[in-house]
Amino acid sequence: MLTQRLRTLLLAEAKKHESFYFYDEQTLVESIHHLQQAFPHEQILYSIKCNPHRAILKTIFSSDIDADAASLGEVYAASDCGVPSDHIYYSAPGKSDYCLEKALGQCILIADSLNEIRRINALAATKNMKVPIGVRINPNFSYTDKKGHSSKFGIDEDAFFSALPELKKLSHILIIGVHTHLRSQELNWNTLCSYYKNVFSLASLIQEKLDSPLCFLNLGSGIGIPYCQDETDCDIESLGQELEKLRVIYEDTFSQARILIESGRYLAGPCGWYVTHIIDTKESHGSHIAIAANTLNGFLRPCLEHLVTSISETAPAREPLFYRTGSTPFYVLNDTQEMEKVTIYGNLCTAADIIASDVLLPKLSPGDVLAFPHAGAYSAVLTPFQFSSQVPPEILFLTASKP
C-alpha cells in the first residue's frame, strides 16, 4: 500500500535518483513481527535468494530467523550476518564437490539426490567427519492432490525408502532432517494447511524407518503476498492456529525436532519499491507513448509479465520470474486529473522493453515518477542491470527509527 509517508519518501528520493530500489526497514520489521506472532513455536526461514541485500539480511537475521541458502555464497552471507552454522540450511540441486566440501561444518547440507548423499559421505570420510544432513524429498503427493510428479528437486519418496538400508550403512553421514517444497507464492491458508498435514505424515514415516529422531522438519512452500487487485493477504493467523493443532498432535513424535516455516515473499516483498522516471513522451500513429528509464534493465518483472501475457493471458506461473496477469501494478506520482490511454516503453534499444500497453493512466509528462510496490522480493536479483551498459538503479535502505 502506498501510504502518504511512503509517497513523500519516494518523491524525495526521486529528486536525487533517476531510478532506484527503496527498502523500508519499518515495513520489514512489521512483517517479521506479524509472522513470528502467528507462529510462536516454529522457526521462521528466510530464503536469501529472494533478496540478499546486506541490510535486509542483517535486519532479518538479527531477529532470530534461520537462513535458507541456495548456494555456497549464501551460506557465507548468512554466516557473516551471525547465523549459527546449525541454523543455516543449504538446499539446492546440483551442488558441486567444491561447494559441498567448503560447506562441510558451515551449515546443514540438504541432500537433493541419492548420489549427493553418497558424495557427501565420501567427502566427509576424507576429513574423518560424521556430517549431519537433511534430505529433500519429492513426495508421492502433490500440492493439491495425492499424486506426485516428476521434479528436478529432491529424492522421490519411493526411491528414498528403497535406498534407506544402504544409506543407514554410510558411516560418515547422519540423516537428521526432512525438507519438502512444492510451490511458492501461496496465499490460500487452507491449501497450505492441507499440505502441512501431508508433510507431517510423511516425516513421521521417515523418522520411523530411520529409527532415529529427526532434529528438524522443513514444511516448505513459501507464504505469498498479494500482487494483484483481486488477491488478499494469506491469513497467517488461521494458518498458525491450525498448525498449532498439528504441532500438538505430533508433539511426542517430533519431540526433538525444530519445525521450520518458509517465509516466502512475506518478509522482504512488501518492504521494497522500485521507482523510475518518465524521460520522454510522443505520439505515434494516433497512440500516446511514454519512455521510462531503466525498465527491463532496472526492474525485470513487469517487462517479463508483458512478454508472457502478450503470448498467452492465461500462462501458468513460472516463479520467481513470472506470476500472472496484473501482478506488477504501479502508481503514477503526479497530481494531474487528466487521463489518457498510453503505452509505456523503457529506454533500451529493443521493442521488448515495454511494461504496459494502452492503459488508462493520469496524463504522463517528462519527469513524472512511477512507483512499483512489492519490489523487495525476486526483483533486483533477477534484473539484467548490465543490458546496454546503462547506469543501474540505486539501491536505498531506510533504517527504521528506534523507539
Cβ neighbours of residue 280 under 8 Å, at least 6 residues apart? Answer: 290, 291, 366
CATH T-level assignment (fold) for domain 66-262: TIM Barrel (3.20.20)
Is the full-model pTM beyond 0.85? Answer: yes
Q: What is the DSSP letter of 328?
A: S
Per-residue model confidence as pLDDT tens digits over 72-85: 999 999 999 999 99
Question: Domain locations in the chain?
Answer: 66-262, 272-398
φ/ψ (deg, to 5) at 159: -65, -40
Does CATH place domain 272-398 in 2.40.37.10? yes
SS3 29: helix
What share of the chain in percent tops pLDDT 70? 100
Residue 403, pLDDT score: 62
**How is residue 170 written as a grid cell?**
554410510
The yes-or-no answer to whether 66-262 and 272-398 have a common fold is no
Per-residue model confidence as pLDDT tens digits over 213-225: 999 999 998 999 9
> What is the rounded distance in angstroms from the CA atom of residue 388 to the CA atom of residue 241?
50
Mean per-residue pLDDT, 58-69: 98
* Residue 142 scores a pLDDT above 90: no
**Average pLDDT over the chain, rounded to whole?**
96
What share of the chain in percent tops pLDDT 90? 95
What band does 369 get if pLDDT is binned at 50, 70 and 90? very high
Residue 1, pLDDT score: 83
